[in-house]
Chain A
Amino acid sequence: MQISLFITCYNDTLFPDTGKAVVRVLERLGHRVDFNPAQTCCGQMHWNTGYTREAVPIIRHFLEVYRDTETICIPSSSCVAMIRDHYPKAALESGEARFVEEVEALLPRVFEFSELLVKHLRVEDTGSAFPHKVTYHASCHSLRSLQLGDIPIRLLRNVRGLELRPLEDVDRCCGFGGTFAIKNADVSSAMLEEKLQSVVKSGAEVCTAVDNSCLMHLFGGLHRQGLPVRTAHLAEILACTSEGASL
């Protein structure tokens, strides 16, 4: 299958290894990946911070870049949530029939990475190997907007050597929330502190998620406190095989 990657602006800049891992996993499963360098951002940061008017040209740009694609893979559930939950509203408010139609045509082609594997490509065993204790942090958007349920867990269970450790209060936000982490830094930090305690308590060596935004937040706290837990996007774990590829 031909799969068009939307890497997302922050993965592109801050987490290129996640993108490489997505490409590796999809190609290993026999798919062709393309990447249009005209892509930028989904508009989430602007939209969620209240700059909804400024988000609209970014949304239009996204539509233009992905107009002629078949299947779009996005390794970030919050960006997928932005597209599914807010693009229709942005289009509707514009009053342009063409904008609305384009969004309607886009939505069925957009998939979060783990969702693409399990629901669309019907793959649960990616032939991966990762002999470590791993805990899974369910990001709010993956849980409540995308309703991913146990999809990422099913992928992790099929990874050779991986020991899955449960995370208590898995449905509670880590406190990132985009610009919330800066505008309400004290509350965000208090929320992070509680989440870090759960992560440490899980006994995992690696904390994974389908959103690098949460993981960047968790990494920030873990590193500051010198806690011995690494963070890695789900794709980076699935990219590892017994033939030697590792984090």
Chain B
Amino acid sequence: MTLSFPEAAREHLRDDQLRRNVRHATDVIRHKRDGVVAEREDWQQLREAGSAIRSHVLENLDGYLIQFEQACSAAGGQVHWARDAAEANRVVLEILTRHEIREVIKVKSMTTEEIGLNAVLGSEGISAVETDLAELIVQLGHDAPSHIVVPALHKNRKQIRELFLREMHLDQLGETAEDLTAAARAWLRERFLKARAAISGANFLVAETGGVVIVESEGNGRMCLTLPPLLITIGGIEKVIPRLQDLEVFLQTLPRSATGERMNPYNSLWTGTTGADGPREFHVILLDNGRSRILADAEGRQTLKCIRCGACQNVCPVYRQTGGHAYGSVYGGPIGAILTPQLHSLEGGASLPYASSLCGACYEVCPVKIDIPEVLIHLRSEIVRKQQQTFTGALGAWNLGMQAAARIFASGERVQTAQKVARTGQWPLVGASGTIESLPFLLSGWTQSRDLAPIPQESFRAWWARRSRVES
């Protein structure tokens, strides 16, 4: 049983080191992003264009996926369809087993994290080596990613050094970022050169050409995509875009939003196989795993516009306090709060849509204009409806309170009566300082860190009525 968001958040809020790391890292990325976004006078048009392309894809997803399959197959790729995580993992296993692969190198991929691929491969005796520096840190630490783009954002340099010393069995290691990357480079280089297979995710699948796009910063991806003779790519079905030309928009908005760069250092785009260079055998697995169900929901659908830039995580004041692990999924932060519960039909993720103050910072930065607060409210209303259909939910304090409040708000007279009742009822709660320092039951959360001024003797409406009487 996984913890609810408030419970998990409480644990993570106690970790001062984690919170310092998260604040520092998100501040750095956020400021870089703001700088490079401000350079673009047409930023709002780029967002609009990105949103329009992604919406268009979702409205016509069936056609574009088939177009992608045909084009990719024609170029020498092999396309597989996976209904869920188990099917996708099975396809990967079958391919690797057929080639008698015992070790596979990986490009950073949240989709493979989503389906738990590494664990499945491990249980079959195949070791999957993460080659992205941050993913390597996560893997060596037997940890989980806490950010879509920067998975080890919760770790600082000192913690990473200790981890490398221990897990790479090093006798000595310097303390600078250069020392750490050099250690990772030496560790990885061996594996790159002997690997016979690689696994990647996909940033974009181009329907028109059957091409696949990966953007990255370290060059590890480029090596995975070009060195081994066998390449397997796993992409969510929503990753497709219509034309090569559409990359014009996303290759501008994605790097600026994700890492605050004008352009990613490595942009890999390949189509099928060539025979002369790169992988000789190339597979693409198109993963559904709950996505077609999200697509069927007109209000939740916009969630699938996401291009996984992580900008919403970097600006989110909630994520800032808790980090990504509190969200109990590889997708943390605002996008996780809407994506995770939908991928799992709200089972187990029912607290996530409430993990937001609805401040709107996520929507403001989203390069494809996903109105995350709107989707959060939509999911909340679905949760409320479900709860109201259960005996405990219908008779729960929240439902009873909200029903009572709705009845009060039906007329001005009722509001006036309720105000009088509350004013009289509050006195046992008012402390010596003249404020309420402890509230009972549901409302106790408020007074754990906040006092409350008592309800004044005269409401505004009472004052207005008195003033009107005096004047007349």
The interface of chain A, by Cβ under 8 A from chain B, is 7, 9, 11-17, 19-20, 35-41, 43, 45-55, 57-58, 61, 86, 140-141, 144-145, 171-173, 175-194, 216-217, 219-221, 223-224
How far is B394's CA from A246's CA once the two chains are assembled, in angstroms? 48
Is B391 in contact with chain A by the CB < 8 A criterion? Answer: no
How far is B357's CA from A175's CA once the two chains are assembled, in angstroms? 6
Given the interface contacts A9-B415, A58-B406, A171-B361, does A182 sit within 8 Å of B381 by beta carbon?
A: no
A50 near B6: Cβ-Cβ < 8 Å:
no
A50 near B409: Cβ-Cβ < 8 Å:
no
A221 near B380: Cβ-Cβ < 8 Å:
no
Is B435 in contact with chain A by the CB < 8 A criterion? Answer: yes
Out of B364, B382, B408, name the residue touching A144 (CB < 8 Å).
Answer: B364
Given the interface contacts A40-B408, A177-B358, A189-B449, does A16 sit within 8 Å of B317 by beta carbon?
A: no
B354 near A180: Cβ-Cβ < 8 Å:
yes
Residues of B within 8 A of A53 (CB): 381, 385
Which of B120-128, B252-260, B461-469 participates in binding chain A? B461-469
Q: How far is the CB of B317 from chain A (nearest CB, A)?
A: 4
How far is B443's CA from A181's CA once the two chains are assembled, in angstroms? 9
B452 near A220: Cβ-Cβ < 8 Å:
yes
Q: How far is the CB of A167 from chain B (nearest CB, A)?
A: 15
How far is B405's CA from A46's CA once the two chains are assembled, in angstroms? 9
B318 near A35: Cβ-Cβ < 8 Å:
no
B448 near A189: Cβ-Cβ < 8 Å:
yes
A191 near B410: Cβ-Cβ < 8 Å:
no
Residues of B within 8 A of A217 (CB): 450
List the A residue with the shortest CB-CB distance to B448: A185
B463 near A20: Cβ-Cβ < 8 Å:
yes
Out of A52, A180, A186, A216, name the residue touching B10 (CB < 8 Å).
Answer: A186
The interface of chain B, by Cβ under 8 A from chain A, is 5-6, 9-10, 13, 19, 317-318, 320-322, 353-361, 363-364, 377, 379-385, 398, 402-403, 405-406, 408-412, 414-416, 419, 422, 433, 435, 437, 442-443, 445-446, 448-453, 455-456, 458-465
A/B pair count, beta carbons within 8 Å: 200
How far is B321's CA from A173's CA once the two chains are assembled, in angstroms? 12
Most buried by A among B318, B361, B409: B409
Residues of B within 8 A of A17 (CB): 456
Out of A19, A50, A180, name the residue touching B383 (CB < 8 Å).
Answer: A50
A177 near B357: Cβ-Cβ < 8 Å:
yes
Given the interface contacts A38-B412, A43-B409, A52-B377, does A191 sit within 8 Å of B459 by beta carbon?
A: no
B410 near A37: Cβ-Cβ < 8 Å:
no
Q: Taking chain A's interface residues, is the majority helix, strand, or loop, or is none over half, making it mixed?
A: helix
Q: A16-B460, A52-B384, A180-B356 are in contact. List 6 more A-B contacts (CB 8 A).
A: A7-B460, A14-B456, A43-B409, A140-B359, A144-B360, A182-B442
- The 9 A-B pairs with the shortest beta carbon distances in the complex, nearest first, are A177-B357, A220-B450, A50-B380, A185-B445, A173-B359, A189-B449, A19-B460, A16-B460, A50-B384
Residues of B within 8 A of A173 (CB): 317, 357, 359, 361
B455 near A189: Cβ-Cβ < 8 Å:
no
How far is B398's CA from A86's CA once the two chains are assembled, in angstroms? 22
How far is B326's CA from A156's CA once the two chains are assembled, in angstroms? 40
Residues of B within 8 A of A177 (CB): 356-359
Residues of B within 8 A of A141 (CB): 360
Q: Can you identify 18 A-B contacts, CB atoms within 8 angstroms?
A: A16-B459, A16-B460, A40-B412, A45-B402, A50-B381, A52-B384, A58-B406, A61-B411, A141-B360, A177-B357, A180-B356, A186-B13, A188-B357, A189-B450, A193-B449, A216-B453, A220-B452, A224-B449
Given the interface contacts A35-B461, A185-B445, does A14 sit within 8 Å of B359 by beta carbon?
A: no
A61 near B409: Cβ-Cβ < 8 Å:
yes
Residues of A within 8 A of B448 (CB): 185-186, 189
B358 near A178: Cβ-Cβ < 8 Å:
yes
Residues of A within 8 A of B419 (CB): 12-13
How far is B455's CA from A189's CA once the two chains are assembled, in angstroms? 22
List the B residue with the shortest CB-CB distance to A191: B317
List the A residue with the shortest CB-CB distance to B406: A54
Residues of A within 8 A of B463 (CB): 16, 19-20
How far is B321's CA from A192's CA once the two chains are assembled, in angstroms? 11
Out of A57, A180, A185, name the residue touching B406 (CB < 8 Å).
Answer: A57
Q: How far is the CB of B457 from chain A (nearest CB, A)?
A: 9
How far is B411's CA from A16's CA once the two chains are assembled, in angstroms? 19
Given the interface contacts A57-B410, A186-B9, does A13 sit within 8 Å of B321 by beta carbon?
A: no
Residues of B within 8 A of A35 (CB): 461, 464
List the A residue with the shortest CB-CB distance to B19: A190
Residues of B within 8 A of A19 (CB): 460, 463-464
Q: How far is the CB of A12 from chain B (nearest CB, A)?
A: 5
